[in-house]
Amino acid sequence: MLVHVITHGCQMNEYDTHTILSELVAGGHQIVDTPADAELIILNTCAVRGKPVEKVISLLGEFRKQKLAGRDLTVGMMGCLAQLEEGQALAKKFGVDILVGPGAITDILKAIEAVETRGESFWSLDFKDDLHSYLTPPPNTLTGFLTIMRGCNHHCTYCIVPQTRGPEVSRSLESIMHEARAMQAAGVQEIYLLGQNVNSYGLGRPDLPSFAELLRLVAATGIPRVKFTTSHPMNFTSDVIDAMAECDNVCKYIHLPVQSGSDRVLRRMAREYRRARYLEIIAEIKAKIPDVVISTDIIVGFPGETEEDFEATLTLYDEVGFDHAYMFMYSARPGTPSYKHFKDLPREVKTERLGRLIERQKYWSNRRNARWVGRNLRVLVKEVATDGQYLVGHSDQNHTVLVPKEQVRTLGLHEVRIDSATPHTLYGTVAGFATEAIPLMMAS
């Protein structure tokens, strides 16, 4: 079959798409670049906020219209929304043929067979024990995503993820290291360790190393760069900070979602730390890792958030001086405790606060990015930017960096002198080459 996959949501979903694509290719199917050319379109969905759900609804509506108009199209739905009753109701309403939850993605070939040979629809919502097959990265892959654990044992009251991805399961050390070495052998320059809560890797499992130990083991392969996401402040222990400080190839970049600066709100969110503890962790990180870059997630307008609570978020932002933040308006998700028990704030209040927070983020990102001007950063140059004039890459500290296209003949790691900065992007000049690189012709 000719298949196209559309991915929404986080990096976990991108990794799942990669798994699905490998399975499809192994099963003799062909991947096409545009939905118009496909016989099967798979939507890898996200359910964390209302907006990505609305996007899925509009796509499903579009596909149904095309089917009614006579297009021979099979539609598949996977990802977090597929695991929820909400998603299953949509699947029924829009005549989705294949529905596989995040715990069952390896069922995809079975699903296609059921549809193709028996004309049946196929649903699978199981949580399988080991979803991980060894994936050889496609040629010229620079960044390898490597899932080390799945699921989440926290119960933040706003969050649907514990329901969609189930409880935490850590992957075996052997299979992680096998995949890391396979990536290295295939020329991958950067390994991104992924999990809903990477810091609880191995918790309660005496047969597994801790996350800090795992980080050191992956770094010891000698891969040029190791990054990881996402961390929960609750499990962000000193040994992780030490491993980051001591391993040269572990990137000095930390994404540590705080969600709110107010203890009252943190309690209602059931986040297990308080403002003072979060600031203590940040202080330790800054003391041990000079020039570290820190980003966060913040939700504004959580039910019951007062002006005073919101101002506490702003002052926390100033105290940390985040390099970057992902900011979200609270979205009441059916099935979460906060949806059931708390009353949503008026939309105008949420919009107004989000606007103020974005102003603060711009101010800080501008200031934090400006500190790199005149200095060299190591940049993994990955692809041609949309305007065609620049190549785009990411620094060790996860900045988006643009360099003029004519200065680069190969993709891969480069030394770049930073010339100017905006809140979102650094602009630089190539100052030197780095590791094994991929000829630029292959970048298009």
- Interaction site with ligand 5AD (CB under 6 A): 48-49, 158-159, 257, 259, 297, 299, 328, 330-331, 333
Is 247 assigned a ligand-binding role in the annotation? no
Residue with tokens 């949503």: 344
Give whichever of 87 and 428 is closer to ligand 5AD, judged by the CB atom: 87
Is 251 assigned a ligand-binding role in the annotation? no
Query: Is the omega angle on the peptide bond into residue 410 within 30 degrees of 0, that is, cis?
Result: no
Give whichever of 105 and 282 is closer to ligand SF4, judged by the CB atom: 105
Q: Least separation, in Å, of the C-beta of 45 and ligand 5AD? A: 15
Q: Least separation, in Å, of the C-beta of 165 and ligand SF4? A: 6
Under the binding rule (CB under 6 A), the answer on residue 13 touching ligand SF4 is yes
Query: Binding string to ligand SF4 for residues 19 to 58, with x set by CB under 6 A, is what?
Result: ---------------------------xxx----------
Residue with tokens 């001086």: 321
Under the binding rule (CB under 6 A), the answer on residue 257 touching ligand SF4 is no
Give whichever of 332 and 373 is closer to ligand 5AD, judged by the CB atom: 332
Contact 137, 179 (CB under 8 A): no
* 3-class SS of residue 81: helix
> For ligand SF4, which residue has the nearest CB?
9
The rounded distance, in Å, linking the Cα atoms of 78 and 24 is 14
Q: Least separation, in Å, of the C-beta of 303 and ligand SF4? A: 20
Looking at residues 162 to 181 of the shown chain, list those that interact with ligand SF4 (rule: CB under 6 A): 164-165
Is 156 assigned a ligand-binding role in the annotation? yes
Q: Report the residue count for the chain.
A: 444
- Count of residues engaged in binding ligand SF4, rule: CB under 6 A: 12
For residue 193, list its beta bridge partners.
Answer: 146, 228
The rounded distance, in Å, linking the Cα atoms of 414 and 393 is 10
Task: Name the packing angle between helices 211-219 and 173-185 (round to 10°).
Answer: 30
Task: Report the partner that residue 47 touches, choosing among ligand 5AD, ligand SF4, none (CB closer than 5 to 8 A by kind).
Answer: ligand SF4
Q: Least separation, in Å, of the C-beta of 301 and ligand 5AD? A: 9
> For ligand 5AD, which residue has the nearest CB?
297
Contacts (Cβ under 8 Å, ≥6 apart) of 366: 421, 422, 423
Under the binding rule (CB under 6 A), the answer on residue 10 touching ligand SF4 is yes
* 3-class SS of residue 186: coil
Q: Least separation, in Å, of the C-beta of 298 and ligand 5AD? A: 7
Give whichever of 12 and 105 is closer to ligand 5AD, judged by the CB atom: 12
Give whichever of 94 and 302 is closer to ligand 5AD, judged by the CB atom: 302
Give whichever of 13 and 369 is closer to ligand SF4, judged by the CB atom: 13
- Residue 53: closest CA among 332, 300, 326: 332
- Residue 103: closest CA among 152, 58, 143: 152
Contact 127, 166 (CB under 8 A): yes
Give whichever of 103 and 428 is closer to ligand SF4, judged by the CB atom: 103
Residue 259 DSSP code: B
Compute the 3-state secondary structure of the chain and give helix, strand, coil in percent, each to the nearest 5.
Answer: 40, 25, 35
The rounded distance, in Å, linking the Cα atoms of 424 and 293 is 13
Is 10 assigned a ligand-binding role in the annotation? yes
- Residue 359: closest CA among 427, 300, 271: 300
* Member of 3, 5, 12, 148 binding ligand SF4 (CB under 6 A): 12
Contact 406, 384 (CB under 8 A): no
Contact 398, 296 (CB under 8 A): no
* Member of 161, 173, 188, 244 binding ligand SF4 (CB under 6 A): 161
Annotated binding site: 10, 46, 80, 152, 156, 159
Binding site for [4Fe-4S] cluster, by residue number, is: 10, 46, 80, 152, 156, 159
* Residues that bind ligand SF4 in the complex, under the rule CB under 6 A: 9-10, 12-13, 46-48, 79-80, 161, 164-165
